[in-house]
Amino acid sequence: MTIALFLAFVAVTLAITVWASRQTRSAADFYAGGRSFSPMQNGVAIGGDYMSAASFLGIAGLIALNGYDGFLYSIGFLVAWLVALLLVAELMRNSGRYTMADVLAARLRERPVRTAAGVSTVVVSTFYLVAQMVGAASVVSLLLGVTGDAAKVWVIAGVGALMIFYVTVGGMKGTTWVQIVKAVLLMAGAALMTVLVLAKYHFNVSELLGAAAAQSGKGLAFLEPGLKYGATDAWSKLDLISLGLALVLGTAGLPHILIRFYTVPSARAARRSVIWAIGIIGAFYLMTLVLGFGAAALVGGAAIKKSDPSGNTAATLLAETLGGGAGTTGGALMLAFIAAVAFATILAVVAGLTLAASSSVAHDLYANVIRKGRSDERGEMRVARLAAVVIGGLSIGLSAFARDLNVAFLVALAFAIAASANLPVILFTLFWRRFTTRGAVWGIVGGLVTAVGVVLLSPICWGGASATKPAVTLTAKQAATCGVDAGARSVGNPTALFSCTAVAPVPLENPGLVSIPAGFAFAALGALTSRRRRDAEEDAAFTALEHRALTGVGAH
């Protein structure tokens, strides 16, 4: 049943992709969907691009297991859109063409800024891709009831092959329609479940909260902050703030989100699409709140943890329960529907990510850095398609290799890099007259290196028990992987990448608190220390960019 729905979705999206390929002739079609989408279509597609499996399955699961703390994620994910709306979307639409780097290149020296921005785009998108694909592998194999390493690798390869097809054949048009179909399915599925959950509690939210708190075994603490984040010492509270910063400042620096602003005809349409997106994404996160507490109340934390310790299957288990429970036709139908929605969600997001990365490789690195603008459109599109295959293949390989690692941190890391490396440089380029090429390169490189560096020194890589990460009770398998006795009290994070017992030099799991100020500081320092020889020229370039960004004169 689930497989039939999966296949139906795949068939529909493949048909759309083939149709879109017939409409894709020019580079503007391939990169920006011909700039012909309406604000509503683009708003829905932004929702489809943004609401990843991590936010549907992940947040519902976080709320189901940790109560209120899961909600913090959705708030950060939503408020972040105001940064995009007020400061970035319209100005970017007017001053860029296909990629994030276009905006920087409009006033700074082309080759250094495109190289830096291209590298950061590929890094952010690939991290995000690997997180999504590894997540897809575990979720899809859980949903389909297949186990074992071979199955996971096959799921990763299948998802990867589909996303490569969407991007290479359908370009931005095909990818956008896949995202629209997915967003409609996701909203419909979430709305149906929300109504069913609320109906069980007489549409009384307080009653639902009470039931969730009682069922959780944690009482009213389940409805208060503190079960997951900032639960131990002062560092863990700083970690929560660090996460909050990265979430709210990262969105407006995510390349796959930024390129969506180019798919509409004008800055005004970009503004209206962001407003649509805010409405859709906000409604969706309010529904995940109901779904998460509903899963806690109706399915129960113990049953959810038994199916998947990180809670990723909370939404699908809830669907089964709402349909009538395991073994009933209604339960099987609901489960199949929501599982198919989750699958669609993953596919749409990975396609958007692959498109963003390959656009940047072709348009920034190939056409403007390597060929110095001497390539023709057809050649550029050929490189973009090739890049999609290479990046897709690379992600399949990385994900297959990392399939048993805990890669959830990669999403938070992608947001942190976007906030630390991309956002400072975008904002300074758009608003600061004295900003320079050196500032842009320092900002991107400094933000990127700091964010990755902090993670390399964090408990994600070094899992020794400390005041911040108290020792956990190990399962036999974890103890074996870590090479310690089952009763050992020296492990705080059994899924640490490098060592389970060495204590991390930096106790923060989320680098944002350090790397975001560092990114702004590097960018500012680079600009202030530049030798100012071409003052008049740079000044004129900023005036021209500002005029174009605000009015749309000369916009593509």
Residue 226 in the binding site for another protein (CB under 8 A): yes
* Token pair 């860029």 in the structure block, residue: 96
Q: Which parts of 181-220 interact with another protein (CB under 8 A)?
A: 204-207, 209-210, 213, 220
**How far is residue 552's CA from residue 357's CA, in Å, rounded to a whole number?**
26
Smaller CB distance to another protein: residue 281 or 361? 281
Measuring CA to CA, how many Å separate 110 from each of 122, 380, 417, 442? 18, 17, 22, 15
Which residues are CB-contacts of 405 (< 8 A; sequence separation ≥ 6)? 134, 495, 497
**DSSP codes of every residue in 34-60:** GG---HHHHHHHHHHHHS-HIIIIIHH
| CB closer to another protein out of 232 and 481 | 232
Q: Which stretch binds another protein (CB under 8 A): 66-74, 161-169, 353-361, 450-458?
A: 66-74
The three-state secondary structure class of 189 is helix
| Cα–Cα dist 486/475, whole Å | 7
- CA dist 55 and 353 (Å) reads 16
Among residues 316, 375, 381, which one has the least CA distance to residue 342?
Answer: 316
**Which residue number, 25 or 228, has a Cβ lying nearer to another protein?**
228
Span 67-106, contacts to another protein by CB under 8 A: 68, 71-72, 75-76, 78-79, 81-83, 85-87
Q: In this chain, which of 142, 240, 295, 514 binds another protein, going by CB under 8 A?
A: 240
Q: Which is nearer to another protein, 43 or 311 (CB)?
A: 43
Specify the stretch interacting with another protein by CB under 8 A; choose among 152-160, 264-272, 309-317, 464-472. Answer: 264-272
Site membership for another protein, residue 152 (CB under 8 A): no
- CA distances for 66 relative to 221, 283, 412, 534, angstroms: 9, 21, 18, 56
552 binds another protein (CB under 8 A): yes
Can residue 118 be called a binding residue for another protein (CB under 8 A)? no
Q: Which is nearer to another protein, 246 or 482 (CB)?
A: 246
Cα separation, 395 vs 414, in Å, equals 15
Work out how close the CB of 180 gets to another protein at its nearest, in angstroms, rounded to a whole number: 21
Rounded Cα–Cα distance for residues 554 and 197 (Å): 51
Q: Single out the residue of 25, 111, 237, 434 in contact with another protein (rule: CB under 8 A).
A: 237
Judged by DSSP in three states, 464 sits in strand
Taking the complex as a whole, the smallest distance from the CB of residue 451 to another protein amounts, in Å, to 19
The count of residues interacting with another protein (CB under 8 A) is: 52
Site residues for another protein per CB under 8 A: 68, 71-72, 75-76, 78-79, 81-83, 85-87, 204-207, 209-210, 213, 220-221, 223-226, 229-230, 237, 240-241, 244-245, 248, 267-268, 271-272, 274-275, 278-279, 282, 285-286, 546-547, 550-554
